[in-house]
């Protein structure tokens, strides 16, 4: 994956300086928070909801629809994750955004152009942009515990423990990682929802390996667990990963790490099922993929009821769903048999994915 190529050289020359500069700047401001805004540590996270399911199981769809309801939810945007994890940075960016709105949004228009240039065709698979809601797995880059490093160093075995965080990582390290994330959420709430009136909303398929630790640290958080057939999620994830790997290197094979990805996702199904079963019913709701695709308004009505959010009419839910459909639709195409091993999938997941559940996913 890292053999000599101009694409790899360009990626390294671009990635290292950008990451090093943002890492140093962001940590300076994160440390300054402890001096300037120490009271942020007293922020309680009593309302939080995590959308956690294996990749390609409609987590983004759920996230995008719910995040539009700004009266009940708030979440990280990509600009905040990359450029403003600290409180003082958030205030500066909020001021810039306010000024930008007053003068006709020239910076916002530039950000749209930036999205087109930097993210290119990848936006056809994943709705991404500086001003859009995004996965806060990005935060774990700042303490070197993020699965995202895998995309840049995919064959580096030392990173494997991130794929199975709660099963492999030593307890003190697990606590340190999750505590760091918890402080980042406190910072976010300190600026955007200090009274805790709204749900903090997070969506990360990569949180499955950390799911048990997150449930313990955020002891009042609720979890939305979407389930889709592994015969769809496995080839789709392998195809998606290949697209991401291709941004950083010329691929020696069309679909690298297919077997490893299949094995990882099977373990993730097992881990998610284990944690969901251990949590109380009032903290979890399962969303079945086929039901979500066929009757989204019913599924979202159930989610709002689960979160104890009153909705005056179904028209409100319809408007959220239709707005998302109008503004984004994934164009991801992939071969349906990539990485599929029916014997392994059926033997490992038969107890979890019963015949009754299979009909719904």
| Whole-number Å distance between alpha carbons of 282 and 61 | 23
- The DSSP symbol for 360 reads T
**Which regions in the chain score pLDDT beneath 70?**
1, 326-330
Of 277, 286, 333, nearest in space to 306 by CA: 286
Report the chain's terminal Cα–Cα distance, integer Å. Answer: 34
pLDDT, position 328? 62
The domain covering 6-358 belongs, at the CATH homologous superfamily level, to P-loop containing nucleotide triphosphate hydrolases (3.40.50.300)
pLDDT, position 326? 64
Q: Where does residue 301 rank: exposed (0-12), middle (13-18), buried (19+ CB within 10 A)?
A: middle
pLDDT, position 327? 65
Q: Phi and psi dihedrals of 48, rounded to 5?
A: -145, 145
Whole-number Cα distances in Å, 297 to 300, 313, 360: 5, 11, 16
């Amino acid at each position: 994956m890292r053999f000599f190529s101009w694409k790899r050289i360009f990626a390294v020359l671009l990635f290292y300086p950008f990451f090093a500069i943002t890492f140093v700047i962001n940590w300076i401001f994160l440390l300054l928070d402890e001096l300037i805004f120490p009271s942020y540590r007293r922020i309680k996270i009593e309302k939080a909801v995590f959308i956690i399911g294996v990749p390609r199981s409609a987590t983004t769809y759920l996230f995008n629809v719910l995040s539009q309801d700004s009266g009940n939810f708030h979440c990280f945007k990509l600009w905040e994750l990359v450029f403003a994890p600290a409180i003082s940075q958030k205030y500066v960016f909020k001021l810039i955004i306010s000024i930008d709105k007053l003068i006709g949004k020239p910076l916002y228009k530039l950000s749209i152009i930036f999205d087109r240039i930097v993210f290119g065709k990848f936006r056809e698979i994943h709705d991404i942009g500086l001003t859009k809601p995004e996965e806060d797995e990005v935060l774990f880059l700042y303490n070197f515990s993020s699965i995202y490093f895998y995309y840049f160093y995919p064959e580096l075995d030392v990173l494997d423990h991130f794929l199975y965080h709660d099963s492999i990582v030593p307890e003190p390290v697990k606590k340190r990682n999750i505590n760091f994330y918890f402080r980042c959420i406190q910072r976010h709430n300190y600026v955007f929802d200090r009274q805790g009136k709204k749900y903090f909303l997070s969506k990360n398929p990569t949180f499955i390996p950390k799911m048990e630790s997150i449930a313990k640290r955020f002891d009042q958080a609720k979890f939305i667990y979407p389930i889709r057939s592994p015969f769809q999620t496995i080839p789709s994830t392998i195809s998606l990963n290949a697209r991401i790997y291709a941004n950083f290197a010329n691929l020696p094979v069309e679909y690298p790490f297919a077997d490893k990805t299949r094995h990882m996702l099977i373990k993730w199904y097992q881990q998610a099922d284990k944690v969901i079963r251990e949590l109380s019913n009032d903290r979890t709701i399962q969303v079945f993929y086929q039901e979500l695709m066929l009757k989204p308004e019913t599924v979202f009505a159930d989610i709002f009821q689960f979160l104890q959010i009153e909705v005056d009419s179904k028209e409100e839910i319809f408007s959220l769903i239709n707005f998302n459909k109008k503004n984004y639709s994934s164009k991801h195409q992939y071969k349906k048999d990539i990485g599929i091993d029916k014997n392994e999938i059926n033997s490992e997941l038969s107890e979890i994915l019963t015949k009754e559940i299979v009909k719904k996913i």
